[in-house]
Structure 1
Amino acid sequence: MKDYSILLYYHYTPIEDPEAFREEHHLLCLKLNLLGRIIVAAEGLNGTISGLREDCEAYMATVKADPRFAGIDFKVDESDKHAFTKLHVRYKPEIVHSSLRHVKPIEKTGVHLSPAEFKQLKDQEDVVLLDVRSDYEHLVGKFKNAITLDIENFRDFPEKVEELAHLKDKKVITYCTGGVKCEKASAFLLEKGFQNVYQLHGGIIKYGLEEGGEDFEGKCYVFDNRLTVDVNKVNPKVISTCYICQEPSDRMVNCANPTCNIHVPMCEKCGHEMEGACSDTCKTDPEKRPYDGTGYYQKETNGYNPFKGLYRKTVQN
């Protein structure tokens, strides 16, 4: 067993004062030395964090002790170290950025399928698997025979639903990394007249942890410094090619030029030769970031203050 844990989770539940909750939750994370990204909104909580195993266990116990989050589902992976370098706990209008603010998954959403149920249904003749993630995510990994969408962000999903109208008589199973996007995607499909809509509960990550990831081809893109993780322990397959040399590669990088910053597969050899850049133009850009061999770059904080609210809480106590 490794010393660190990486948690992926979300929960749709009403939070009456999300900004106050953000401050309280942030203080909890500081106390437990956790790093990662957490979004708090009036509609719920969404996060991916890392920390020492015992600190993550304390975090999960504390969150579940709150009646609002009693049903939260944590996907837990092991690690030798932190998967993040900073802690961000932010208040936002939604826990996943979409064009579907009117959609309320706690009122209506697609039928949740456990990983075992998903495995049984996925290959049936009248079933369609729908990947609701962004193009750079399914480029490096997706389920065998799944339908993918040409979208840069999940907020573009509603515009693509008309293209799926011919599938209304099918059983449509949506899937994403951890499940949070599917809650709104499946609800929107129901709103648009799809009758039999399901979602893989816990997403790709939970399916890999519980069922071995069979028929997930490639790797799963994740939003931490690992960039991709293995999912399939049964019949793994590389489906992506290096952006530079076109040789098979499932090693993802963000272009070292921050103005570009595209997410593409790039083999180690080309990564070294291109210094993490996706083109000669990006390689010679004066703003190019130093390449450390990983292709992961910490996002700018944009003025985010990790200790916001700390002084006020200290004074009140």
Structure 2
Amino acid sequence: MAQYNTLLYYCYSTIADGEQFAADHLKFCKSLNLTGRVIVATEGLNGTISGSPESCKAYMDTLHADERFASIDFKVDEVDSPSFVKMHVRYKDEIVHSGLRDPNIINPQDKTGIHLEPQEFLEMKDGEDVIILDVRSNYEHNLGKFKNAITLDIENFRDFPEKINELAEYKDKKIITYCTGGIKCEKASALLLHEGFTDVYQLHGGIIKYGKEAGGEDFDGKCYVFDNRLAVEVNSVNPVVIATCYNCGNVTDKMINCANPECNEHFTQCDDCGTTMQGCCCDACKEHPRKREYDGTGYYVKVPLPVNVKAGKVSLA
């Protein structure tokens, strides 16, 4: 039995005093000896939390007891070690950065694509009039994606609105959006509806829930996750590896961050190249004076970069 749990969740629900909530929530998480990352905004919560099963249960019970968060659908993974080193709770403008901040235009609490449970998605996804749309970033869908899914050339989700015009030919189709846990789809599907797409759906709970409840059938590759695991298995039915090593081109499903913290690029790299390149994406990063020691995982705790130097004192970001 695994010693720890990792929880993935989000909730669009109005939080009146988000900054104070964030401060209080950090204290609460630390009181349970949890690690992880939670983003708080006026529009809701977005979090990945890791800790003992008992602490994670207490966390889930507490949030579910709050009427604002009673509907949260926690995705629970059993892990051998905590998926984070520290606990961070931060207040931001959005719980997922999209640039779509006008609630009169995009408000997932008011209007969004029809939610499909994993089994419903499985039964619907291969229809002739169905388009499966991946709304994640390049490094995510390069590692793994659904068979025949449409992918977009985006570095961050905030680039998604600029790509809507590329989807115009599918306006008469049924469009099903998907992402890691469902949070991006809430805004992506809402934007599609706003732009005149009429038959819009989304995979409820995202890739992670689909893997747990429907076996992950036809999801090729691994799923990128935003913790020190970096990538997780999804498909237990017909798995394949689709990613290739950034350096040599050989097939690999290992995702890492570049060992140069000033690059920190997400990329796939086989173990042989990882050893040769010391976890770096290129020779320039390999020779960088701030290069971190590569331990084979390709995951690093973020270290603030110096942003201002005055009178011999260094201010940190």
The equivalent of 1:86 in structure 2 is 86
Residue equivalent to 2:132: 129
Which residue of 2 is the match for residue 98 of structure 1?
98
C-alpha displacement of 1:300: 3.0
Deviation at 1:239, TM superposition (A): 0.4
Q: Aligned residue for 1:32? A: 32
Q: Secondary structure at the match of 2:33?
A: coil
Q: How many Å apart are 1:194 and its aligned residue?
A: 0.2
> 1:231 aligned to 230, 234, 238, which one?
234
1:285 maps onto 2:305 in alignment: no
Counterpart of 1:55 in structure 2: which amino acid? S
Q: Deviations over 1:246-294 (max 9, x none)?
A: 1100101111112222111101111011100111111111121111111
Matched, 1:190 2:193: yes
Task: Show the 5 A alignment for 1:81-230.
Answer: 81-102=81-102, 103-230=106-233
- Identity %, equivalent residues: 66
* 1:67 aligned counterpart, secondary structure: coil
Q: Which structure 1 residue ranges, 4+ long, deviate > 6 Å from structure 2? A: none
2:71 corresponding residue in structure 1: 71
The equivalences for 1:245-284 within 5 A come to 245-284=248-287
Deviation at 1:302, TM superposition (A): 7.2
Secondary structure of 2:29 counterpart: helix
Q: Secondary structure at the match of 1:69?
A: coil
**1:20 Cα shift?**
1.5
- Per the alignment, residue 315 of structure 2 pairs with none
**Between Structure 1 and Structure 2, how many residues are aligned?**
303
Once the two structures are TM-superposed, the CA of residue 297 in structure 1 deviates from its matched residue by 1.2
Distance 1:86 1:182 in 2: 28
Q: Which amino acid in structure 2 is aligned with residue 214 of structure 1?
A: E
Most deviating of 21-30 and 140-149: 21-30
Tell me how far apart the structure 1 counterparts of residues 113 and 99 of structure 2 sit (CA, whole Å).
Answer: 18
Determine if the alignment matches structure 1 residue 240 to structure 2 residue 237.
no
Q: Following TM superposition, by how much is the alpha carbon of 1:301 offset from its aligned partner in structure 2, in angstroms? A: 5.2
Q: Which runs of 5+ in 2 are unaligned?
A: 307-317
- One-letter amino acid of the counterpart of residue 54, structure 1: E
Q: Which residue type is aligned with residue 75 of structure 1?
A: K
Q: Which amino acid aligns with 1:224?
A: D
SS at match of 1:54: helix
Distance 1:250 1:268 in 2: 10
* CA distance in structure 2 between the aligned counterparts of 1:299 and 1:148, rounded to whole angstroms: 29
Residue identity matched to 2:259: A
Aligned residue for 1:24, secondary structure, equals: helix
**Distance in 1 (alpha carbons) for counterparts of 2:136 and 2:158:** 10
- Structure 1, unmatched stretches of 5+, are 304-317
Coordinate RMSD, CA, aligned: 1.1
Match of 1:47 in 2: 47
Cα distance in 2 for residues equivalent to 1:147 and 1:300: 35
Moved more, 211-220 or 93-102: 93-102
